[in-house]
Structure 1
Amino acid sequence: MAAAGSLRSLLGRVRYEVLPAKATEEKVLAHVPRDVVITVTASPVKGLEPTLALTGRLAEHGYRVVPHVPARLLRDDTHLKDVTERLRAVGVDDVFVPAGDADPPAGPYQGALPVLRRLDELGRPFARMGITGYPESHPLIHDDITIQAMWDKRAHATYVVSNLCFDARVLGDWIARVRRRDVTLPVYVGVAGPVQRAKLLAMAAKIGVGESTRFLTKHASWFVRFATPGGYAPDRLLDRAAQALTAPSAGVAGLHLFTFNQIAETERWRRAALDRLGD
Protein backbone atom coordinates (compact mmCIF):
# COMPACT_ATOMS: atom_id res chain seq x y z
CA MET A 1 0.00 0.00 0.00
CA ALA A 2 2.90 2.34 0.71
CA ALA A 3 4.21 1.91 -2.84
CA ALA A 4 0.73 2.58 -4.24
CA GLY A 5 0.52 5.77 -2.23
CA SER A 6 3.95 6.85 -3.44
CA LEU A 7 3.03 6.11 -7.06
CA ARG A 8 -0.11 8.16 -6.61
CA SER A 9 2.05 11.00 -5.35
CA LEU A 10 4.29 10.73 -8.42
CA LEU A 11 1.23 10.84 -10.69
CA GLY A 12 0.31 14.07 -8.97
CA ARG A 13 3.72 15.50 -9.91
CA VAL A 14 3.75 15.04 -13.65
CA ARG A 15 5.08 16.89 -16.65
CA TYR A 16 3.43 16.45 -20.06
CA GLU A 17 5.78 16.58 -23.01
CA VAL A 18 4.05 17.94 -26.13
CA LEU A 19 5.11 18.73 -29.67
CA PRO A 20 4.51 22.27 -30.97
CA ALA A 21 1.97 21.25 -33.62
CA LYS A 22 -0.95 23.30 -34.89
CA ALA A 23 -3.57 21.80 -32.56
CA THR A 24 -1.40 21.44 -29.45
CA GLU A 25 -2.50 24.65 -27.74
CA GLU A 26 -6.18 23.80 -28.18
CA LYS A 27 -5.66 20.27 -26.83
CA VAL A 28 -3.77 21.47 -23.77
CA LEU A 29 -6.41 24.08 -22.95
CA ALA A 30 -9.21 21.56 -23.36
CA HIS A 31 -7.76 18.72 -21.33
CA VAL A 32 -4.85 19.66 -19.06
CA PRO A 33 -5.31 21.26 -15.63
CA ARG A 34 -3.15 24.27 -14.83
CA ASP A 35 -1.20 22.43 -12.13
CA VAL A 36 0.35 20.10 -14.71
CA VAL A 37 3.69 21.29 -16.07
CA ILE A 38 3.89 21.37 -19.88
CA THR A 39 7.20 20.78 -21.63
CA VAL A 40 7.48 21.75 -25.30
CA THR A 41 9.85 19.91 -27.62
CA ALA A 42 11.96 21.48 -30.36
CA SER A 43 12.44 20.21 -33.89
CA PRO A 44 15.79 19.98 -35.69
CA VAL A 45 13.87 20.67 -38.91
CA LYS A 46 11.64 23.56 -37.83
CA GLY A 47 14.00 25.12 -35.32
CA LEU A 48 13.21 26.85 -32.05
CA GLU A 49 10.58 29.33 -33.21
CA PRO A 50 7.52 27.01 -32.90
CA THR A 51 8.72 25.99 -29.43
CA LEU A 52 9.17 29.57 -28.26
CA ALA A 53 5.84 30.69 -29.71
CA LEU A 54 3.83 27.88 -28.10
CA THR A 55 5.68 28.35 -24.81
CA GLY A 56 4.67 32.00 -24.75
CA ARG A 57 1.02 31.30 -25.52
CA LEU A 58 0.69 28.54 -22.92
CA ALA A 59 2.42 30.71 -20.32
CA GLU A 60 -0.13 33.44 -21.02
CA HIS A 61 -2.87 30.88 -20.32
CA GLY A 62 -1.41 30.29 -16.86
CA TYR A 63 0.57 27.10 -17.40
CA ARG A 64 4.04 26.52 -16.07
CA VAL A 65 5.91 25.77 -19.28
CA VAL A 66 9.34 24.22 -19.77
CA PRO A 67 10.69 24.72 -23.30
CA HIS A 68 13.32 22.43 -24.77
CA VAL A 69 16.38 24.43 -25.83
CA PRO A 70 18.61 21.96 -27.68
CA ALA A 71 22.23 23.06 -27.81
CA ARG A 72 22.63 22.09 -31.46
CA LEU A 73 19.79 24.43 -32.51
CA LEU A 74 21.49 27.54 -31.15
CA ARG A 75 23.18 29.54 -33.90
CA ASP A 76 25.57 31.49 -31.68
CA ASP A 77 25.92 33.29 -28.37
CA THR A 78 23.65 36.11 -29.52
CA HIS A 79 20.94 33.60 -30.37
CA LEU A 80 21.24 32.04 -26.90
CA LYS A 81 20.89 35.47 -25.30
CA ASP A 82 17.88 36.31 -27.47
CA VAL A 83 16.17 33.02 -26.59
CA THR A 84 16.89 33.59 -22.91
CA GLU A 85 15.47 37.11 -22.96
CA ARG A 86 12.37 36.02 -24.84
CA LEU A 87 11.65 33.20 -22.40
CA ARG A 88 12.24 35.35 -19.34
CA ALA A 89 9.87 37.97 -20.77
CA VAL A 90 6.99 35.46 -20.62
CA GLY A 91 7.88 34.28 -17.12
CA VAL A 92 9.73 31.06 -17.92
CA ASP A 93 12.04 30.03 -15.09
CA ASP A 94 12.75 26.44 -16.14
CA VAL A 95 14.35 25.11 -19.33
CA PHE A 96 15.34 21.66 -20.53
CA VAL A 97 18.71 21.63 -22.30
CA PRO A 98 19.46 18.48 -24.31
CA ALA A 99 22.19 18.24 -26.91
CA GLY A 100 19.58 17.82 -29.65
CA ASP A 101 19.59 15.95 -32.93
CA ALA A 102 20.46 18.69 -35.44
CA ASP A 103 23.18 17.37 -37.73
CA PRO A 104 25.11 19.43 -38.48
CA PRO A 105 24.53 21.75 -35.53
CA ALA A 106 23.26 25.24 -36.28
CA GLY A 107 26.18 26.83 -34.45
CA PRO A 108 29.16 26.20 -32.19
CA TYR A 109 27.40 24.15 -29.50
CA GLN A 110 27.91 20.42 -29.96
CA GLY A 111 26.37 19.42 -26.64
CA ALA A 112 24.48 20.67 -23.61
CA LEU A 113 27.39 21.30 -21.25
CA PRO A 114 28.77 24.43 -23.00
CA VAL A 115 25.26 25.92 -23.07
CA LEU A 116 24.76 25.23 -19.37
CA ARG A 117 28.13 26.83 -18.61
CA ARG A 118 27.26 29.86 -20.70
CA LEU A 119 23.94 30.26 -18.91
CA ASP A 120 25.85 30.24 -15.64
CA GLU A 121 28.08 33.00 -17.01
CA LEU A 122 24.95 34.96 -17.93
CA GLY A 123 23.90 34.92 -14.29
CA ARG A 124 21.76 31.77 -14.25
CA PRO A 125 18.67 33.43 -15.73
CA PHE A 126 16.61 30.28 -15.12
CA ALA A 127 16.04 28.94 -11.62
CA ARG A 128 15.76 25.38 -12.94
CA MET A 129 17.64 23.67 -15.77
CA GLY A 130 17.09 20.06 -16.80
CA ILE A 131 19.36 17.59 -18.57
CA THR A 132 18.83 14.19 -20.20
CA GLY A 133 19.42 10.72 -18.78
CA TYR A 134 19.40 7.46 -20.76
CA PRO A 135 18.12 4.36 -18.92
CA GLU A 136 18.08 2.40 -22.19
CA SER A 137 21.31 2.68 -24.14
CA HIS A 138 21.82 5.68 -26.37
CA PRO A 139 22.23 4.44 -29.96
CA LEU A 140 25.54 6.29 -30.39
CA ILE A 141 26.97 6.77 -26.89
CA HIS A 142 28.17 4.18 -24.36
CA ASP A 143 26.19 4.02 -21.10
CA ASP A 144 29.18 4.94 -18.93
CA ILE A 145 29.74 8.06 -21.04
CA THR A 146 26.13 9.22 -20.68
CA ILE A 147 26.31 8.84 -16.89
CA GLN A 148 29.68 10.62 -16.85
CA ALA A 149 28.04 13.42 -18.83
CA MET A 150 25.45 13.80 -16.07
CA TRP A 151 28.28 14.05 -13.55
CA ASP A 152 29.94 16.76 -15.64
CA LYS A 153 26.68 18.75 -15.85
CA ARG A 154 25.59 18.31 -12.24
CA ALA A 155 27.03 21.65 -11.07
CA HIS A 156 24.96 23.52 -13.65
CA ALA A 157 21.71 21.53 -13.90
CA THR A 158 19.05 21.17 -11.23
CA TYR A 159 17.33 17.95 -12.37
CA VAL A 160 17.48 15.03 -14.81
CA VAL A 161 14.75 13.85 -17.18
CA SER A 162 15.15 10.23 -18.18
CA ASN A 163 14.51 9.24 -21.75
CA LEU A 164 11.85 6.65 -22.52
CA CYS A 165 12.32 3.26 -20.93
CA PHE A 166 10.01 0.26 -21.30
CA ASP A 167 11.72 -2.13 -18.90
CA ALA A 168 11.18 -1.75 -15.15
CA ARG A 169 14.35 -3.66 -14.28
CA VAL A 170 16.50 -1.56 -16.61
CA LEU A 171 14.98 1.60 -15.19
CA GLY A 172 15.65 0.54 -11.60
CA ASP A 173 19.22 -0.50 -12.41
CA TRP A 174 19.89 2.82 -14.13
CA ILE A 175 18.65 4.86 -11.17
CA ALA A 176 20.88 2.80 -8.87
CA ARG A 177 23.91 3.34 -11.15
CA VAL A 178 23.30 7.07 -11.29
CA ARG A 179 23.17 7.27 -7.50
CA ARG A 180 26.29 5.13 -7.12
CA ARG A 181 28.12 7.68 -9.26
CA ASP A 182 27.06 10.35 -6.74
CA VAL A 183 24.79 12.14 -9.17
CA THR A 184 22.25 13.43 -6.66
CA LEU A 185 20.05 15.56 -8.92
CA PRO A 186 16.33 14.75 -8.67
CA VAL A 187 15.05 12.62 -11.54
CA TYR A 188 11.84 12.93 -13.52
CA VAL A 189 11.23 9.48 -14.94
CA GLY A 190 10.27 9.45 -18.60
CA VAL A 191 7.24 7.25 -19.30
CA ALA A 192 5.18 6.95 -22.47
CA GLY A 193 1.49 7.58 -22.03
CA PRO A 194 -1.23 5.29 -23.40
CA VAL A 195 -0.05 5.64 -26.99
CA GLN A 196 -2.17 4.37 -29.86
CA ARG A 197 0.03 3.25 -32.73
CA ALA A 198 -2.25 4.62 -35.48
CA LYS A 199 -2.27 8.07 -33.88
CA LEU A 200 1.48 7.94 -33.35
CA LEU A 201 2.00 7.23 -37.04
CA ALA A 202 -0.36 10.05 -37.97
CA MET A 203 1.51 12.43 -35.68
CA ALA A 204 4.83 11.39 -37.21
CA ALA A 205 3.45 12.10 -40.68
CA LYS A 206 2.25 15.57 -39.68
CA ILE A 207 5.66 16.75 -38.51
CA GLY A 208 6.99 16.81 -42.07
CA VAL A 209 8.42 14.32 -44.54
CA GLY A 210 12.08 14.69 -43.60
CA GLU A 211 11.46 14.86 -39.89
CA SER A 212 8.93 12.04 -40.02
CA THR A 213 11.53 9.77 -41.62
CA ARG A 214 14.03 10.75 -38.94
CA PHE A 215 11.46 10.12 -36.20
CA LEU A 216 10.40 6.71 -37.50
CA THR A 217 13.99 5.59 -38.09
CA LYS A 218 15.27 6.75 -34.73
CA HIS A 219 12.38 5.28 -32.75
CA ALA A 220 11.55 2.11 -34.69
CA SER A 221 11.71 0.00 -31.52
CA TRP A 222 9.03 2.18 -29.92
CA PHE A 223 6.57 1.29 -32.64
CA VAL A 224 7.21 -2.39 -32.06
CA ARG A 225 6.46 -1.92 -28.36
CA PHE A 226 3.29 0.04 -28.99
CA ALA A 227 2.01 -2.24 -31.77
CA THR A 228 2.55 -5.62 -30.11
CA PRO A 229 -0.54 -6.86 -28.23
CA GLY A 230 0.36 -6.69 -24.55
CA GLY A 231 3.67 -5.10 -25.49
CA TYR A 232 3.32 -1.89 -23.51
CA ALA A 233 1.01 -0.42 -20.92
CA PRO A 234 2.06 2.46 -18.66
CA ASP A 235 0.18 0.98 -15.70
CA ARG A 236 2.11 -2.26 -15.93
CA LEU A 237 5.46 -0.49 -16.22
CA LEU A 238 4.75 1.71 -13.20
CA ASP A 239 3.49 -1.21 -11.12
CA ARG A 240 6.62 -3.23 -11.88
CA ALA A 241 8.93 -0.28 -11.25
CA ALA A 242 7.10 0.94 -8.14
CA GLN A 243 9.69 -0.21 -5.62
CA ALA A 244 12.58 1.33 -7.55
CA LEU A 245 10.75 4.59 -8.24
CA THR A 246 9.40 5.16 -4.75
CA ALA A 247 12.46 4.24 -2.68
CA PRO A 248 13.67 7.36 -0.84
CA SER A 249 17.20 6.73 -2.12
CA ALA A 250 15.99 6.91 -5.74
CA GLY A 251 15.33 10.63 -5.58
CA VAL A 252 12.50 10.48 -8.12
CA ALA A 253 10.79 13.87 -8.19
CA GLY A 254 7.93 12.98 -10.52
CA LEU A 255 6.96 11.54 -13.89
CA HIS A 256 7.70 13.01 -17.30
CA LEU A 257 4.93 11.72 -19.56
CA PHE A 258 5.64 11.56 -23.28
CA THR A 259 2.20 12.29 -24.73
CA PHE A 260 3.13 12.22 -28.44
CA ASN A 261 0.34 14.82 -28.55
CA GLN A 262 -2.24 12.27 -27.45
CA ILE A 263 -3.01 14.75 -24.72
CA ALA A 264 -6.64 13.94 -23.90
CA GLU A 265 -5.84 10.22 -23.75
CA THR A 266 -2.89 10.82 -21.45
CA GLU A 267 -4.88 12.92 -19.01
CA ARG A 268 -7.75 10.39 -18.97
CA TRP A 269 -5.26 7.62 -18.26
CA ARG A 270 -3.63 9.61 -15.45
CA ARG A 271 -6.98 10.32 -13.81
CA ALA A 272 -7.95 6.66 -14.03
CA ALA A 273 -4.59 5.63 -12.56
CA LEU A 274 -5.06 8.05 -9.65
CA ASP A 275 -8.50 6.57 -9.00
CA ARG A 276 -7.13 3.03 -9.22
CA LEU A 277 -4.41 3.77 -6.68
CA GLY A 278 -6.93 5.31 -4.28
CA ASP A 279 -6.34 7.88 -1.56
Structure 2
Amino acid sequence: MGGEGFRALLSGVRYEVLPAKATEDKVLAHVPRDVVVTVTASPVKGLEPTLDLVGRLAAHGYRVVPHMPARLLRDDAHLKDVVERLREAGVDDVFVPAGDADPPAGAYDGALPVLRRLSELGGPFARVGITGYPESHPLIHDDLTIQAMWDKRAHATYIVSNLCFDPRVLGDWVGRIRRRDVTLPVHVGVAGPVQRAKLLTMATKIGVGESTRFLTKHASWFLRFATPGGYSPDRLLDRSAEALTAPSAGVAGLHVFTFNQVAETERWRCAVLERLGG
Protein backbone atom coordinates (compact mmCIF):
# COMPACT_ATOMS: atom_id res chain seq x y z
CA MET A 1 0.00 0.00 0.00
CA GLY A 2 1.36 3.41 -0.79
CA GLY A 3 0.94 6.80 -2.29
CA GLU A 4 -0.97 9.99 -1.71
CA GLY A 5 -4.23 8.32 -2.73
CA PHE A 6 -4.24 5.97 0.24
CA ARG A 7 -3.13 8.67 2.63
CA ALA A 8 -6.20 10.64 1.54
CA LEU A 9 -8.50 7.62 1.98
CA LEU A 10 -7.21 6.95 5.50
CA SER A 11 -7.22 10.60 6.48
CA GLY A 12 -10.85 10.96 5.37
CA VAL A 13 -11.95 7.87 7.28
CA ARG A 14 -15.30 7.19 8.94
CA TYR A 15 -15.63 4.77 11.88
CA GLU A 16 -18.91 2.86 12.24
CA VAL A 17 -19.81 1.95 15.83
CA LEU A 18 -22.73 0.22 17.52
CA PRO A 19 -24.60 2.03 20.32
CA ALA A 20 -23.54 -0.21 23.21
CA LYS A 21 -22.99 0.80 26.83
CA ALA A 22 -19.22 1.29 26.51
CA THR A 23 -19.18 2.88 23.05
CA GLU A 24 -19.04 6.50 24.20
CA ASP A 25 -16.04 5.88 26.46
CA LYS A 26 -14.22 3.95 23.71
CA VAL A 27 -14.71 6.74 21.19
CA LEU A 28 -13.61 9.43 23.66
CA ALA A 29 -10.51 7.44 24.60
CA HIS A 30 -9.31 6.49 21.14
CA VAL A 31 -10.89 8.46 18.28
CA PRO A 32 -9.52 11.87 17.26
CA ARG A 33 -12.11 14.64 16.83
CA ASP A 34 -11.35 14.92 13.12
CA VAL A 35 -12.52 11.34 12.46
CA VAL A 36 -16.20 11.05 11.52
CA VAL A 37 -18.14 8.59 13.70
CA THR A 38 -21.23 6.85 12.34
CA VAL A 39 -23.69 5.17 14.71
CA THR A 40 -25.77 2.18 13.65
CA ALA A 41 -29.38 1.53 14.64
CA SER A 42 -30.83 -1.69 16.00
CA PRO A 43 -33.95 -3.33 14.52
CA VAL A 44 -34.73 -4.66 18.02
CA LYS A 45 -33.87 -1.65 20.21
CA GLY A 46 -35.04 1.01 17.75
CA LEU A 47 -33.64 4.47 17.15
CA GLU A 48 -33.48 5.74 20.74
CA PRO A 49 -30.03 4.30 21.65
CA THR A 50 -28.67 5.72 18.38
CA LEU A 51 -30.13 9.18 18.93
CA ASP A 52 -28.90 9.26 22.54
CA LEU A 53 -25.33 8.30 21.61
CA VAL A 54 -25.27 10.68 18.65
CA GLY A 55 -26.31 13.57 20.91
CA ARG A 56 -23.64 12.77 23.49
CA LEU A 57 -20.83 12.36 20.94
CA ALA A 58 -21.86 15.55 19.13
CA ALA A 59 -21.72 17.40 22.46
CA HIS A 60 -18.12 16.15 22.83
CA GLY A 61 -17.23 17.81 19.53
CA TYR A 62 -17.39 14.86 17.15
CA ARG A 63 -18.91 15.00 13.70
CA VAL A 64 -21.45 12.22 14.09
CA VAL A 65 -23.55 10.52 11.41
CA PRO A 66 -26.59 8.62 12.66
CA HIS A 67 -28.02 5.68 10.75
CA MET A 68 -31.70 6.43 10.16
CA PRO A 69 -33.17 3.20 8.74
CA ALA A 70 -36.46 3.74 6.93
CA ARG A 71 -38.02 0.62 8.41
CA LEU A 72 -37.53 1.94 11.98
CA LEU A 73 -39.56 5.11 11.34
CA ARG A 74 -43.15 4.76 12.52
CA ASP A 75 -44.72 7.58 10.52
CA ASP A 76 -44.22 11.11 9.25
CA ALA A 77 -44.51 12.58 12.74
CA HIS A 78 -41.76 10.25 13.98
CA LEU A 79 -39.53 11.22 11.06
CA LYS A 80 -40.04 14.92 11.79
CA ASP A 81 -39.27 14.36 15.48
CA VAL A 82 -36.05 12.51 14.65
CA VAL A 83 -35.01 15.26 12.24
CA GLU A 84 -35.69 17.94 14.86
CA ARG A 85 -33.69 16.13 17.54
CA LEU A 86 -30.74 15.63 15.22
CA ARG A 87 -30.73 19.24 14.07
CA GLU A 88 -30.84 20.42 17.70
CA ALA A 89 -27.77 18.24 18.33
CA GLY A 90 -25.97 19.97 15.46
CA VAL A 91 -26.07 16.95 13.13
CA ASP A 92 -25.82 17.85 9.44
CA ASP A 93 -25.14 14.40 7.96
CA VAL A 94 -27.35 11.27 8.06
CA PHE A 95 -27.14 7.80 6.54
CA VAL A 96 -30.47 6.43 5.30
CA PRO A 97 -30.56 2.67 4.59
CA ALA A 98 -33.74 0.64 4.26
CA GLY A 99 -32.86 -1.28 7.44
CA ASP A 100 -33.53 -4.84 8.54
CA ALA A 101 -36.63 -4.39 10.74
CA ASP A 102 -39.14 -7.06 9.75
CA PRO A 103 -41.91 -6.10 9.76
CA PRO A 104 -41.30 -2.36 9.36
CA ALA A 105 -42.26 -0.13 12.28
CA GLY A 106 -44.55 1.87 10.00
CA ALA A 107 -45.28 2.94 6.46
CA TYR A 108 -41.71 3.20 5.18
CA ASP A 109 -40.44 -0.09 3.75
CA GLY A 110 -37.47 1.34 1.84
CA ALA A 111 -35.09 4.27 1.85
CA LEU A 112 -36.41 6.15 -1.20
CA PRO A 113 -39.70 7.36 0.36
CA VAL A 114 -37.77 8.69 3.39
CA LEU A 115 -35.24 10.42 1.14
CA ARG A 116 -38.07 12.05 -0.84
CA ARG A 117 -39.75 13.18 2.37
CA LEU A 118 -36.49 14.74 3.60
CA SER A 119 -36.29 16.67 0.33
CA GLU A 120 -39.91 17.80 0.81
CA LEU A 121 -38.98 19.01 4.29
CA GLY A 122 -36.45 21.34 2.69
CA GLY A 123 -33.35 19.17 2.94
CA PRO A 124 -32.62 19.58 6.67
CA PHE A 125 -29.22 17.86 6.35
CA ALA A 126 -26.31 19.07 4.24
CA ARG A 127 -25.15 15.50 3.59
CA VAL A 128 -27.27 12.39 3.08
CA GLY A 129 -25.77 8.93 2.53
CA ILE A 130 -27.27 5.86 0.86
CA THR A 131 -26.18 2.21 0.64
CA GLY A 132 -24.26 0.50 -2.16
CA TYR A 133 -23.83 -3.27 -2.53
CA PRO A 134 -20.53 -4.43 -4.10
CA GLU A 135 -21.33 -8.04 -3.19
CA SER A 136 -24.78 -9.28 -4.17
CA HIS A 137 -27.64 -8.41 -1.86
CA PRO A 138 -29.25 -11.64 -0.59
CA LEU A 139 -32.70 -10.53 -1.76
CA ILE A 140 -32.14 -8.02 -4.58
CA HIS A 141 -30.54 -8.45 -8.01
CA ASP A 142 -27.35 -6.44 -8.59
CA ASP A 143 -28.87 -4.43 -11.45
CA LEU A 144 -31.74 -3.39 -9.18
CA THR A 145 -29.41 -2.21 -6.42
CA ILE A 146 -27.57 -0.03 -8.94
CA GLN A 147 -30.90 1.21 -10.31
CA ALA A 148 -31.91 2.08 -6.74
CA MET A 149 -28.79 4.24 -6.38
CA TRP A 150 -29.78 5.99 -9.60
CA ASP A 151 -33.31 6.60 -8.29
CA LYS A 152 -31.97 8.01 -5.00
CA ARG A 153 -29.24 10.21 -6.48
CA ALA A 154 -31.35 13.39 -6.50
CA HIS A 155 -31.88 13.10 -2.74
CA ALA A 156 -28.44 11.90 -1.62
CA THR A 157 -24.92 13.33 -1.59
CA TYR A 158 -22.80 10.16 -1.18
CA ILE A 159 -22.81 6.35 -1.15
CA VAL A 160 -21.47 4.04 1.56
CA SER A 161 -20.64 0.60 0.20
CA ASN A 162 -21.52 -2.44 2.24
CA LEU A 163 -18.75 -4.75 3.42
CA CYS A 164 -16.79 -6.43 0.65
CA PHE A 165 -13.84 -8.81 1.04
CA ASP A 166 -13.02 -9.36 -2.63
CA PRO A 167 -10.83 -6.67 -4.23
CA ARG A 168 -11.83 -7.69 -7.75
CA VAL A 169 -15.56 -7.52 -6.95
CA LEU A 170 -15.04 -4.14 -5.28
CA GLY A 171 -13.18 -2.68 -8.25
CA ASP A 172 -15.69 -4.09 -10.75
CA TRP A 173 -18.60 -2.63 -8.77
CA VAL A 174 -17.10 0.87 -8.68
CA GLY A 175 -16.60 0.65 -12.45
CA ARG A 176 -20.16 -0.56 -13.02
CA ILE A 177 -21.85 2.22 -11.09
CA ARG A 178 -19.72 4.84 -12.88
CA ARG A 179 -20.66 3.36 -16.25
CA ARG A 180 -24.30 3.68 -15.20
CA ASP A 181 -23.67 7.40 -14.54
CA VAL A 182 -24.05 7.12 -10.78
CA THR A 183 -21.65 9.94 -9.94
CA LEU A 184 -22.07 10.32 -6.17
CA PRO A 185 -18.81 10.02 -4.21
CA VAL A 186 -18.30 6.61 -2.60
CA HIS A 187 -17.07 5.83 0.91
CA VAL A 188 -15.77 2.26 0.61
CA GLY A 189 -16.87 -0.05 3.40
CA VAL A 190 -14.10 -2.22 4.84
CA ALA A 191 -13.80 -4.21 8.05
CA GLY A 192 -11.13 -3.05 10.45
CA PRO A 193 -8.56 -5.42 11.98
CA VAL A 194 -11.27 -7.46 13.68
CA GLN A 195 -10.51 -10.21 16.17
CA ARG A 196 -12.97 -13.09 15.76
CA ALA A 197 -13.47 -13.67 19.50
CA LYS A 198 -14.34 -10.02 20.07
CA LEU A 199 -16.61 -10.01 17.02
CA LEU A 200 -18.54 -12.97 18.44
CA THR A 201 -18.82 -11.17 21.79
CA MET A 202 -20.11 -8.07 20.03
CA ALA A 203 -22.65 -10.09 18.07
CA THR A 204 -23.90 -11.57 21.33
CA LYS A 205 -24.28 -8.14 22.90
CA ILE A 206 -26.40 -6.92 19.98
CA GLY A 207 -29.23 -9.12 21.24
CA VAL A 208 -30.22 -12.76 20.87
CA GLY A 209 -32.64 -12.31 17.98
CA GLU A 210 -30.39 -9.92 16.13
CA SER A 211 -27.30 -12.06 16.71
CA THR A 212 -28.96 -15.05 15.09
CA ARG A 213 -29.99 -12.93 12.12
CA PHE A 214 -26.55 -11.31 11.94
CA LEU A 215 -24.71 -14.63 12.01
CA THR A 216 -27.08 -16.18 9.47
CA LYS A 217 -26.68 -13.28 7.05
CA HIS A 218 -22.92 -12.98 7.50
CA ALA A 219 -21.63 -16.49 8.09
CA SER A 220 -18.99 -15.97 5.40
CA TRP A 221 -17.58 -13.02 7.37
CA PHE A 222 -16.84 -15.25 10.35
CA LEU A 223 -15.13 -17.81 8.15
CA ARG A 224 -12.89 -15.07 6.76
CA PHE A 225 -12.07 -13.68 10.19
CA ALA A 226 -11.50 -17.15 11.68
CA THR A 227 -9.16 -18.52 9.02
CA PRO A 228 -5.47 -17.79 9.71
CA GLY A 229 -4.51 -15.14 7.17
CA GLY A 230 -8.14 -15.10 5.99
CA TYR A 231 -8.70 -11.37 6.28
CA SER A 232 -6.48 -8.34 6.54
CA PRO A 233 -7.61 -4.80 5.75
CA ASP A 234 -4.08 -4.06 4.52
CA ARG A 235 -4.21 -6.89 2.00
CA LEU A 236 -7.67 -5.90 0.76
CA LEU A 237 -6.58 -2.29 0.30
CA ASP A 238 -3.31 -3.30 -1.36
CA ARG A 239 -5.14 -5.39 -3.92
CA SER A 240 -7.79 -2.71 -4.47
CA ALA A 241 -5.30 0.14 -4.79
CA GLU A 242 -5.58 0.82 -8.49
CA ALA A 243 -9.39 0.70 -8.54
CA LEU A 244 -9.92 2.80 -5.40
CA THR A 245 -7.38 5.56 -6.02
CA ALA A 246 -8.08 6.18 -9.73
CA PRO A 247 -9.57 9.67 -10.17
CA SER A 248 -12.44 8.20 -12.19
CA ALA A 249 -13.45 5.99 -9.25
CA GLY A 250 -14.68 8.94 -7.20
CA VAL A 251 -13.79 7.26 -3.89
CA ALA A 252 -13.97 9.86 -1.13
CA GLY A 253 -12.63 7.77 1.75
CA LEU A 254 -12.98 4.60 3.78
CA HIS A 255 -15.95 3.66 5.92
CA VAL A 256 -14.48 1.29 8.50
CA PHE A 257 -16.75 -1.20 10.26
CA THR A 258 -15.12 -1.32 13.70
CA PHE A 259 -17.56 -3.74 15.38
CA ASN A 260 -16.74 -1.55 18.39
CA GLN A 261 -13.07 -2.58 18.34
CA VAL A 262 -12.30 1.11 18.30
CA ALA A 263 -8.84 1.14 19.90
CA GLU A 264 -7.57 -1.63 17.62
CA THR A 265 -8.97 0.12 14.55
CA GLU A 266 -7.36 3.46 15.34
CA ARG A 267 -4.01 1.82 16.14
CA TRP A 268 -4.15 0.07 12.76
CA ARG A 269 -4.96 3.31 10.91
CA CYS A 270 -2.15 5.23 12.63
CA ALA A 271 0.34 2.45 11.87
CA VAL A 272 -0.61 2.42 8.19
CA LEU A 273 -0.40 6.22 7.96
CA GLU A 274 3.03 6.09 9.60
CA ARG A 275 4.24 3.51 7.07
CA LEU A 276 2.89 5.58 4.19
CA GLY A 277 4.54 8.67 5.61
CA GLY A 278 7.81 6.80 5.66
Which TM-score applies when normalising by structure 1?
0.98
Give the structure 2 partner of residue 19 of structure 1. 18
Task: Return the alpha-carbon distance in structure 2 between the equivalents of residues 17 and 54 of structure 1.
Answer: 13
How far off its partner does 1:230 sit? 1.0
Cα-to-partner distance string for 1:198-255 (whole Å, 9 max, x where unaligned): 0000011111111111111111110011001111100000011010000000000000
How far off its partner does 1:122 sit? 0.3
Letter in 1 for 2:266: E
Give the structure 1 partner of residue 123 of structure 2. 124
Give the structure 1 partner of residue 258 of structure 2. 259
Give the structure 2 partner of residue 6 of structure 1. 5
Instruction: Give SS of 1:95's match.
Output: strand
Question: Is 1:210 the counterpart of 2:235 in the alignment?
Answer: no
Task: Return the alpha-carbon distance in structure 2 between the equivalents of residues 80 and 268 of structure 1.
Answer: 37
Cα-to-partner distance string for 1:122-151 (whole Å, 9 max, x where unaligned): 000000000000000001100000000000
Letter in 2 for 1:235: D
Give 5+ residue unaligned stretches, structure 2. Answer: none
Equivalent residues in 2 for 1:1-279, closer than 5 Å? 4-278=3-277
Could you tell which deviates more after superposition, 17-26 or 216-225?
216-225
Moved over 4 A (4+): none
Instruction: Give SS of 2:131's match.
Output: strand
Give 5+ residue unaligned stretches, structure 1. Answer: none
Task: Return the alpha-carbon distance in structure 2 between the equivalents of residues 203 and 129 of structure 1.
Answer: 28
Letter in 2 for 1:169: R
Letter in 2 for 1:196: Q
Task: Return the alpha-carbon distance in structure 1 between the equivalents of residues 146 and 80 of structure 2.
Answer: 28
Task: Return the alpha-carbon distance in structure 1 between the equivalents of residues 32 and 178 of structure 2.
Answer: 33
Task: Return the alpha-carbon distance in structure 2 between the equivalents of residues 167 and 212 of structure 1.
Answer: 24
How far off its partner does 1:4 sit? 2.2
Task: Return the alpha-carbon distance in structure 2 between the equivalents of residues 8 and 126 of structure 1.
Answer: 28
Instruction: Give SS of 1:194's match.
Output: coil
Q: How many residues align?
A: 278
% of aligned pairs identical? Answer: 85
How far off its partner does 1:9 sit? 1.3
Which TM-score applies when normalising by structure 2?
0.99
Task: Return the alpha-carbon distance in structure 1 between the equivalents of residues 208 and 176 of structure 2.
Answer: 38
Task: Return the alpha-carbon distance in structure 2 between the equivalents of residues 93 and 9 of structure 1.
Answer: 22
Considering only aligned residues, what root-mean-square deviation do their CA atoms show, in Å?
0.8
Instruction: Give SS of 2:156's match.
Output: coil
Instruction: Give SS of 2:100's match.
Output: coil
Instruction: Give SS of 1:147's match.
Output: helix
Instruction: Give SS of 1:160's match.
Output: strand
Cα-to-partner distance string for 1:155-176 (whole Å, 9 max, x where unaligned): 0000000000001110000000
Letter in 2 for 1:183: V
Letter in 1 for 2:208: V
Cα-to-partner distance string for 1:46-68 (whole Å, 9 max, x where unaligned): 00000000000000000000000
Task: Return the alpha-carbon distance in structure 2 between the equivalents of residues 86 and 8 of structure 1.
Answer: 35
Task: Return the alpha-carbon distance in structure 1 between the equivalents of residues 274 and 142 of structure 2.
Answer: 37
Task: Return the alpha-carbon distance in structure 1 between the equivalents of residues 204 and 231 of structure 2.
Answer: 22
Task: Return the alpha-carbon distance in structure 2 between the equivalents of residues 172 and 157 of structure 1.
Answer: 22
